[in-house]
Chains A and B, each alone.
Chain A
Amino acid sequence: MRVCAVIPCFQEELRSSALEVLTKATIVASSSGGRVEAWLVGPTAEKHSSKAAQYGAATLRVMELEVDSEAKGVNVSLGRRIVDAVDELMTQSTAELATEGAPQPPSLLLFDNTELTKDVLGACGARLDVPVIADVVDLSWDGHQCIAQRPTYASKVMSKVHAEGSVILCSIRAGLFEPDEKPVKATTHRYKSPQTDLLGQVLKELVAPEGDTVDLTEAPIIIGVGRGIADETGKDLVAKLATLIRGEIAISRAHFESGMYSHTLLVGQSGKVVAPRLYLALGISGSIQHVAGMSESHTIIAINKDPEAPIFDLADLGIVGDLYQILPALIHALESTQA
C-alpha cells in the first residue's frame, strides 16, 4: 500500500500546499500501514526532492518536465503534460513494484487543490480510469476504501463521499493544517518524461500583473477588499494598512469587476479558498460565494458600515462604520505605536 503525494514542481519554492499534502499523506499512511511516496513532476522536480524527504516521503519519484520557458516559476500551462506524466509514473512504478514481488499495490494519490490541480485532476482520473474525489478536507483510507469529507453547496454542507478501488485520486484543500516536518531516508527514482502530444495547443502569452507573485493560500494575514473600497483613495489606504499589519490583499468579486486589482486575488467559490490566521474583511458584505472561500480563517475581523451585513454573522470582531473614516484613523494609530 502506498500514499503518493503528487507534486507539480514549477516554482523555485515548493508551495506550502504541497507540504500539507505530504503531511496528510504521512498521516493517512501511518493509520493505513502504507508507505509514503512523493511524485515530483516538473522543471524544478529535482530541486525539491530533498524537501519531500524532509516531510516524510521515503520514495521519491522524480520526473523532470519541459515546459515553455517563460511559464517556469510563475504558472503552468498545458496540463496535458502533467496528465501524461502521472499516467507514465503510474505505469512505471507499478511495473517496478511488481518486479519487487508486490503486484499492483493499492495506491492513494493525493494532490493539492490549486488551479493547476483543478486543470488536470479530472483528466488524470479519466486517463487512469479510477475514482476521483476533489477538494477534500479530511479522509481515511484502508487500501481499498476511501471515505472523504468535502464541503459542498458553497461550503454550507459537508458531504461524506465514498470510493473504492485499487487506485484512488484525491485533492486536498489548502490551509487546513500545519505542514509537519518528518525527515526520512529516501530512495530516489528518476524517470524520463513521456513525449506529450499537445494536440496543437500553444501558450501564447503569460500575463502576470503586479502583485501576482504572492500565494494567498500561504499568507498568514489577508486583507479582503470588497466593494466598500471604491476608489484609488481607498486603495491607497488599504495598501498602507497592508504594510503596517504585514497583510496580503485579496478581493471579492466586486473588484474582479472593478478592475482595480489583479484577478488572481479573488477569494471565494470561484476563486481561491484561504484559511489565514487573520482575515480582515473591508467593505465585504459576506455573500455565500465569498464566504465559501474564507470561512475557515482562524480569526475574522470585518469592517462594514451596514450593521446587518451577513459578514458580521461569522466575524469574531465586527466593526460598524465607514471605512473612509476608520482606515485613516487606524493607520494613524498603527503608525504611532510603531514609531
Chain B
Amino acid sequence: MQHARVLNSGKIQNEWTSIWHIQTEAFFLYSDMSQDRTILVCAKETPDTYSDLSFSGGSVQFSNPRPVLNAYDASALEEALVLSEAHGFRVHVVMIGPEKASETLRKALAMGADEATLLTDAPKDADSAVIAKILAAFVEQFGPDAVIMGRQSQDTDVGLAGGMLADHLQWPWTTNAIGIRFEQEAFWVKRQGDSAQEWIDSPMPCLITCSNNLNDPRIPTLKGIMASKKKPMHIVAIDSLPGGDALSTLAPSTTIESLTPMPERAAGELVEGDLETLVEALMKGLGSIPETGVGS
C-alpha cells in the first residue's frame, strides 16, 4: 500500500507530515477543516481538445501536447470560488489522475482553491462508472457539504459521472447549472432544461453539475500561481482509500474499441460579389429546401 503524502513544501507540510506519521491508519488528514464548510470540486484533466487534432495509428493527438483542466470543471471551480468569497466555504479540489496531473491540479489551486487531492493509480481505462465509485469513496471519507463538478468532460462528452456519484451517495443532485446561489443554508440552482429553466433548492449535502455557460473561469494570476506552491496538495493512492483494494481493481463496464476520424463535410460553394448576386444565390439555396416554402 502506498501512503498518502503531501507535495508542497513549507510549514503546512511539516505540520501535516508529522500528524501523518502519528496516525498512519487514518487515510489522510486535512489542514484546518475544523470549522469551515467545504465545497468539493471534482475536476478532471483532459487533452486540449480544442487544439488541432490529428490521427496516428488509431490514436488521437492534439497540437497542444499539454493537458488542460476540463472546461466544465473550471466553471464548477469558478462558481465554488465565487460562493466561497461570498459565504466563506473552503474549496477543495479532487482529481483522479496520474502523478503528473499535479500540474493541472495546481492550476486549480492557482485559481484560488484552498487545498487539493490527487487520487493516483486509478484502474486502467477507468470509465465514468469506475470514476464515480472512487469519488464516492473519497466523498464519504471526506464529508464535504457540497460537491460541484462539470456536467461533462470536454474530451469524451459522456456526462454520466455526476449522476452516478449522486446516486452512490444518495444525495440530491441538480445537473446543468447555469446559476448557483447559496441562501438560507441551501443551494439554489438554476438548471437549464430542454426548454425553460428551473430554480431548484437543495439542502446540504448536495451535488451540482455545471454548464460552462455558468461563468467565465478566471485566469490564474501570477500571485495565485506563486501562492499555489504553498497550498497543500495531497497525493493519495486509490488503494489507500477505504475499500481501496476493491476500488483499485475495478474493471470498466464500457471500453473504447477504436477511434476513427469523423467523416468531414466537404465545403460547398462560396459566393462573393455584389448584393444582387448574394441574394440570388440565397434565394436559390433556400428554394431548394421544400420545408422553407420558398421554392413553391
> Which of A151, A163, A213 has the most B CB atoms < 10 Å from its CB?
A163
Asked whether B60 lies within 8 Å of A153 as measured between CB atoms, the reply is yes
Q: Note all chain A residues with C-beta closer than 8 A to B157.
A: 135, 151-152, 154, 269
- Closest Cβ of chain B: how far from A13's Cβ, in Å? 12
Tell me if B222 counts as interface (CB < 8 A to partner A). Answer: no
Tell me if A156 counts as interface (CB < 8 A to partner B). Answer: yes
Asked whether B257 lies within 8 Å of A122 as measured between CB atoms, the reply is no
Asked whether A315 lies within 8 Å of B200 as measured between CB atoms, the reply is no
Tell me if A78 counts as interface (CB < 8 A to partner B). Answer: yes
Report the Cα distance A221→B292, complex, angstroms. 7
Report the Cα distance A130→B254, complex, angstroms. 10
Q: Note all chain A residues with C-beta closer than 8 A to B156.
A: 152, 159
Tell me if A102 counts as interface (CB < 8 A to partner B). Answer: no
**Interface bits B160-201 vs A (CB < 8 Å: 1, else 0):** 111111111011111110100000001010111111111111
Dominant secondary structure of chain B at its interface with chain A: mixed
Q: How many residues of B contact A (CB 8 A)?
A: 85
Asked whether B294 lies within 8 Å of A207 as measured between CB atoms, the reply is no
Are A329 and B159 CB-contacts (below 8 A) given A114-B194, A116-B193, A318-B268? no
Asked whether A147 lies within 8 Å of B257 as measured between CB atoms, the reply is yes
Dominant secondary structure of chain A at its interface with chain B: mixed
Q: Note all chain B residues with C-beta closer than 8 A to A314.
A: 264-265, 267
Asked whether A121 lies within 8 Å of B163 as measured between CB atoms, the reply is yes
Q: Note all chain B residues with C-beta closer than 8 A to A153.
A: 49, 53, 60, 155
Q: Note all chain B residues with C-beta closer than 8 A to A124.
A: 163
- Closest Cβ of chain A: how far from B101's Cβ, in Å? 19
Asked whether A131 lies within 8 Å of B196 as measured between CB atoms, the reply is no
Tell me if B132 counts as interface (CB < 8 A to partner A). Answer: yes
Q: Note all chain A residues with C-beta closer than 8 A to B272.
A: 307, 320-321
Q: How many residues of A contact B (CB 8 A)?
A: 101
Q: Note all chain A residues with C-beta closer than 8 A to B203.
A: 199-201
Of A26-34, A57-65, A68-76, the stretch lying at the interface with chain B is: A68-76
Tell me if B262 counts as interface (CB < 8 A to partner A). Answer: yes
Tell me if A184 counts as interface (CB < 8 A to partner B). Answer: no
Q: Note all chain A residues with C-beta closer than 8 A to B175.
A: 79, 115, 118-119
Asked whether B267 lies within 8 Å of A131 as measured between CB atoms, the reply is no
Point out residues on A near B: beta carbons under 8 Å.
Answer: 71, 74-80, 83, 114-116, 118-127, 130-135, 147, 151-163, 165, 198-209, 212-215, 220-221, 244-247, 253, 256, 263-264, 266, 269-271, 277-278, 280, 288-289, 295, 299-301, 303, 307, 312-321, 325-326, 329-330, 333-334, 337
8 interchain residue pairs of minimum CB distance: A122-B163, A122-B160, A131-B253, A316-B268, A123-B163, A126-B167, A208-B196, A126-B164
Point out residues on B near A: beta carbons under 8 Å.
Answer: 49-50, 53, 60, 72, 128-129, 132, 151-152, 154-168, 170-176, 178, 186, 188, 190-203, 206, 211-213, 253-262, 264-265, 267-272, 275, 278-279, 281-283, 285-286, 288-289, 291-294
